[in-house]
Amino acid sequence: MKKIAIIGTGLSALSLAHHLPTLDVTFFEKSWRPGGRLSTRKQSDLKFDHGAHFLSPDHGVLGFTEALEKVQAIKKVEGLYTSNYHGGASKEVKSIIIGDNGIESIPINLHKSLRYPTNFSTKIEKVERDNKDYYLFSDKDKFGPFDMVFAGIPFEQGATLLQDHIDFSQYPTPIFNSIWTVMLGFDKRLGTDLQFGYYLTKEISFFMNQNFKHEQFNQESWVFNMRSEWTNKYYNIEPYVLEDYVVNEVKKIFQSDARATFKKSHRWKYANPKKSLRDLNGKTYISSVDHKLYLLGDWGEGPAMQDAWLAGKKLAKSVEEFNISHAHNI
């Protein structure tokens, strides 16, 4: 049985492992938990989904919802929604899919279901080849040998990690939008019946009440995404300045005297692939010449959660087809 290393436990990497045949797989994850941008921040009794927010029921990727249901990672809820608050769009009730216990339930439950050993808090800093085998190195440990290595990580990080094995000059670089995300807790309701929507202001592109997702009642908590153009312009803004700005804007819009009891912001550098690898050259992953080392991520397919899942699914199919073809030619 082939020994496989998968670097990263984001959704594309988990999808790859899910769709590959049963193999001798070992995960390596620099964080203490799986998930990447599918992240839920916990603060006292508050929870904030501050990376990915929800999945649309009509996402169009065959088998994705069913896989999440099988591992009890999701639930469906309804919320009052507007497509353009600033533009005066009407309100409507919208059905969405969310994590069963925060959006992090999706990667956590998927990872548990795979039952593969995982080295958490282990950042792989180097990949070396010795004859036909690959070895991975952290700052203090060596792992291997492996027959194949898959890196499900941001493109720029992957290009640095694998530059000795892949000629990246042959590939276009995906273009990313960065997004500042602001998490706020208030001591009472802001005074709107909306649960989520888009274009709250010219600067705030998305807003979502966390209470109806996490059944929080003592305080009201919200997540706000700044527009990518605004984020690029104010990329290095001090977090406290950004947080106070959003608090004041939100209170003014909703004519609220609620007091902010919690403020936290996070800058997602690779939040949104503006132009994916598929957009640029029709490919959805990058491979070494020997087809033993691969780089994948949502940047290969597109910006949505289902794109990350599809990226892993497509690569798994491609690897399986290559192995079958190669075996027939031997």
Residues 244-280 pLDDT 10s: 999 999 999 999 999 999 999 999 998 788 899 999 9
Torsion of CA 242, 244, 245, 249, to 10 degrees: 140
What's the whole-model pTM score? 0.94
CATH number of the domain bearing residue 121 = 3.50.50.60
Q: pLDDT tens digit string along 37-76?
A: 899 998 888 899 999 999 999 999 999 999 999 999 999 9
Domain span at residue 223 reads 3-329
Q: How is residue 224 written in tokens?
A: 């706000």
Distance CA 257, CA 204 (A): 20
Distance CA 82, CA 205 (A): 12
272, β-bridge pairs: 177
Task: Mark 23-60 as b/e (b = at least 16 C-beta within 10 Å).
Answer: eebbbbbbeebbbbbbbbbeeeebbbbbbbbbbeeebe
Query: What's the confidence (pLDDT) of residue 326?
Result: 56
Sign of CA dihedral 212, 215, 217, 223: negative
Query: What's the confidence (pLDDT) of residue 271?
Result: 77
Number of compact structural domains in the chain: 1
